[in-house]
Amino acid sequence: MTSNADLIARRNRTIGPYSPLFYAEPLQFVSAKGVWFTEANGDRYLDGYNNVPHVGHANDRVVRALSEQAALLNVHTRYLNERVVDYSERLLSTFRPGLDRVFFGNSGSEANELALRIARQLTGSTGVIVSDYSYHGTTITLAQMTTGLKTREPLGAHVRTLRIPDLDSDPRPEAEVLAEALASLDASIASLQEGGFGVSASLFDPLFSTEGMPRVPAGLVAGIVDRVRAAGGMVIADEVQSGFGRTGSHMWGHDYAGMEPDLVTMGKPMGNGHPMSAVVTSEDVLDRFGSRNEFFNTFAGNPVSAAVGEAVLLEMEAEALMPRAQELGGQALARFRELASQHGDFVRTAKGTGLFLGLDFAVDGVPAPHLAKQVVEAMKARRVLISRIGRDESVLKVRPPLAFGAAELPILLDALEASLAEVRV
């Protein structure tokens, strides 16, 4: 293995110094299996962060499906191909009735682009509502509605943002918090209509992951959906983070959040790292878009991607990953709550559902990202990988592969307990 310094120098001369790296001292892994990474010297790190290797790094079933199908046939969908139909049927069977058609793509960006493109065409409007701290992809259109990381593009004139309230940090009564958020949305919709943009779509992650998993008022999601529909817009659920059983209780984040979207986009965990994504929608929407556009995506829905996607669903079922996430996530959340209460001087609250958990760091009501960062580095020193989310980057992000097991949970929790004990406010 090349030394980190040499490799970073070569990396800077090829993909450049701006391509982000985790940690003050980056990590270089040579292999990974299940929920464990291995460094060249044999040191192992527990993966408490990555959601892309959903059913586990280098999962046997997925690697076998990938290898066997790649050795057999990999071609676009302009020839008939049973594999893509088998997979489509299996994927769609996980959705409620009415969400029964699928467009495939190669990345979450492609899925969100297509959902927005469909919404623009079908509504004849361009206005979009997103959260004021969110991220949905890398394209020009998506950069114009990026609020959760630095982009050179200003917010598009046709974009309005909604601050997602968090009852964990907002002391006001729930009804007041809800009313304020919906009044702000009403004003945004009115402003889009006055500006001549109209409302084409709302685009939200049903879990509000990037936002830091706020505890939202009851009725907020339903209120958004009703208002967007009433304004003629379509509702897009971005399931790139919240889907595929992440919540433990529901296969899809929109079902967890009790919303009924017109379009559902998905990516990251779908192929366990193989580049693939999808937009799921209704027959009516597919007909209205499909009949008016020659739409074709070369790599999308190829039999290798279909075989891989199918293997992910089969593995989730065979290993009962969703119920396991619910059980382990429940245990983890209970311990997170204990830790939050033990460290009430700098932890505001425990957050999350299923295998997506957080600890919100604040001192005297002021977000404390520097302390959250300390804990992320302290966890790394204990060879457990986690990260941070939220507008202040003050919420610990614990979002391991769904293959995370009962044997690993104590390792993560004990490391967290020890790392929190080191924090000096």
Site for a copy of itself in 196-235 (CB under 8 A): none
Query: 69 vs 169, which CB is nearer to a copy of itself?
Result: 69
Among 24, 41, 291, 407, binds a copy of itself (CB under 8 A): 291
Burial grade of 232 (CB within 10 A; 0-12, 13-18, 19 or more): middle
Residue carrying structure tokens 């208002």: 227
Tell me: does residue 147 bind a copy of itself (CB under 8 A).
no
Query: 50 vs 265, which CB is nearer to a copy of itself?
Result: 50
Among 55, 106, 396, 415, binds a copy of itself (CB under 8 A): 106
CB 28, min distance to a copy of itself, A:
4
As a whole number of angstroms, the longest Cα–Cα distance in the chain is 63
CB 40, min distance to a copy of itself, A:
10
Task: Identify which range of 113-121, 164-172, 173-181, 389-397 contacts a copy of itself by CB under 8 A.
Answer: 113-121
Tell me: does residue 10 bind a copy of itself (CB under 8 A).
yes
Segment 247-276, which members bind a copy of itself (CB under 8 A)?
267-268, 272-276
Tell me: does residue 292 bind a copy of itself (CB under 8 A).
yes
Tell me: does residue 154 bind a copy of itself (CB under 8 A).
no
Evaluate whether 126 touches 203 at the Cβ level (below 8 Å).
no
CB 296, min distance to a copy of itself, A:
5
CA distances from 188 to 131, 348, 381 (A): 12, 31, 46
- What are the structure tokens assigned to 17, written together? 């110094």
Amino acid code (one letter) for 212: G
Task: Identify which range of 171-179, 286-294, 332-340, 369-377 contacts a copy of itself by CB under 8 A.
Answer: 286-294
Q: How far apart are CA 139 and CA 77, in angstroms?
A: 24
Task: Identify which range of 180-188, 283-291, 360-368, 392-400 contacts a copy of itself by CB under 8 A.
Answer: 283-291
3-class DSSP state of 307: helix
Tell me: does residue 152 bind a copy of itself (CB under 8 A).
yes
Q: How far apart are CA 421 and CA 371, in angstroms?
A: 12
CB 41, min distance to a copy of itself, A:
14
- What are the structure tokens assigned to 8, written together? 């970073």
Give 353-414 as a DSSP string.
ETTEEEEEEEETTEE-HHHHHHHHHHHHHTTEE-EEESTTS-EEEB---TT--TTTHHHHHH
Query: 178 vs 203, which CB is nearer to a copy of itself?
Result: 203
Query: 203 vs 347, which CB is nearer to a copy of itself?
Result: 203
CB 30, min distance to a copy of itself, A:
7
Evaluate whether 280 touches 264 at the Cβ level (below 8 Å).
yes
Q: How far apart are CA 325 and CA 245, in angstroms?
A: 8
Bridge-based pairing state of the strands 159-162 and 128-131:
parallel
Binding mask 49-78 for a copy of itself (x = CB under 8 A): -x-xx---xx---xx--xx--xxxxxxxxx
Q: How many residues bind a copy of itself (CB under 8 A)?
A: 104
Cα dihedral: 106, 108, 110, 115 (round 10): 130
Query: 42 vs 296, which CB is nearer to a copy of itself?
Result: 296
Give 182-195 as a DSSP string.
HHHHHHHHHHHHHT
Segment 380-409, which members bind a copy of itself (CB under 8 A)?
none
Query: 63 vs 363, which CB is nearer to a copy of itself?
Result: 63
Tell me: does residue 175 bind a copy of itself (CB under 8 A).
no
CB 294, min distance to a copy of itself, A:
4
Task: Identify which range of 81-89, 166-174, 254-262, 313-321 contacts a copy of itself by CB under 8 A.
Answer: 81-89
Contacts of residue 185, Cβ cutoff 8 Å, sequence gap at least 6: 129, 162, 223, 224, 227
Segment 297-336, which members bind a copy of itself (CB under 8 A)?
297-299, 301-302, 304-305
Query: 220 vs 280, which CB is nearer to a copy of itself?
Result: 280
Segment 11-40, which members bind a copy of itself (CB under 8 A)?
11, 13-22, 26-32, 37
Among candidate residues 214, 223, 213, the one with its CA nearest the CA of residue 258: 223
Q: How far apart are CA 345 and CA 216, in angstroms?
A: 24
Q: How many C-beta atoms surround the C-beta of residue 67 within 10 A?
A: 12
Segment 114-143, which members bind a copy of itself (CB under 8 A)?
114, 116-117, 120-121, 138-141, 143
